[in-house]
Amino acid sequence: MPEYISDYYEQNDKMYVATDCIIFGFDDGKLKLLIFKRRVEPLKNAWSLIGSFVKLNEDVDQAAKRVLKEITGLDNVFMEELKSYGKAERDPGYRSISIGQYALIRLDEYDKELVEKHGAHWYEIDKVPDLVLDHDQMVKDALERLKRKARYKPIGFELLPENFTIPQLQQLYEAIYQKELDARNFRKKVLSLNVLIKLDKKDKSSSRRGAFLYKFDYKNYKKLLESGYNFEIA
């Protein structure tokens, strides 16, 4: 490295770069958030999103994926960069910037023992305790992003088990939008999207008659997405 570049970098202030993961799950008709108690001072034992400083040899998105895998045992899940949080006073420990990343995971797939080992807990989204630093704002921003994305892309399917019923799908979107949806209109709309495959099996856990199970047709979804299809559901 040329000497003048080295001198320039040495003369400027240093700060940390972190990534914080807003991890959403869906269970029992409720949208949930995974949080844990902060392990380091300052604010030790306060409720926090799960995050980490970015290592010198990794990209920010790689750091987020590392955090997710370390806590849940999962990789190859839906994760998207949210925004950066860089107020000078955001972290009383040291000057730092955090890149928020939100993830959607299926609660029937993650490693429960691993989550418990790290002291992490799932909270219903409307019962999440106050979080440290600017993490409450991160969750608020992630929910707004999720609502917007869910209107035009069927990302909600990332939160459901592989096989699901139409009522379960409706419960999910009601949890995301925080409002009730008309059952008849919802069914008509989602079936018209041509991204569901009806199975010959029924879920009879909620009634004797049961409801047919469906699975998401990723192949057809990709074709329609490339053609510019509008997936607005509600």
Q: Which two tokens stand for residue 220?
A: 């057809």
Instruction: Determine the pLDDT at residue 199.
Output: 94
- Reply yes or no: is the peptide bond before residue 154 cis, omega within 30 of 0: no
What is the domain partition of the chain in residue ranges? 7-149, 153-226
Q: Do 7-149 and 153-226 agree at the fold level?
A: no
**Separation CA 159–CA 171 (nearest Å):** 11
Instruction: Determine the pLDDT at residue 5.
Output: 62
Beta partners for residue 21, in sequence order = 50, 101
Domain 7-149 CATH (choose: 3.50.50.60, 3.30.2010.10, 3.90.79.10, 1.10.3720.10): 3.90.79.10
Pick the closest to residue 64 from 18, 113, 133 (CA basis): 18
Instruction: Determine the pLDDT at residue 107.
Output: 87
Instruction: Determine the pLDDT at residue 3.
Output: 58
Instruction: Determine the pLDDT at residue 234.
Output: 65
Pick the closest to residue 46 from 91, 79, 83, 87 (CA basis): 91
Tens-binned pLDDT, residue by residue, of the chain (234 aa) = 555 566 777 788 899 999 999 999 998 889 999 999 998 899 999 999 999 999 999 999 999 999 999 999 998 889 999 999 999 999 999 999 999 999 999 888 888 999 999 999 999 999 999 999 999 999 999 999 999 988 777 788 889 888 999 999 999 999 998 899 999 999 998 898 888 999 999 887 766 777 899 999 988 888 877 877 777 776
Task: Count CB atoms within 10 A of the CB of residue 210.
Answer: 13
Residue type, 86: G
What pTM was computed for the model? 0.88
Pick the closest to residue 20 from 141, 116, 112 (CA basis): 141
Give, in words, the CATH class of 153-226.
mainly alpha
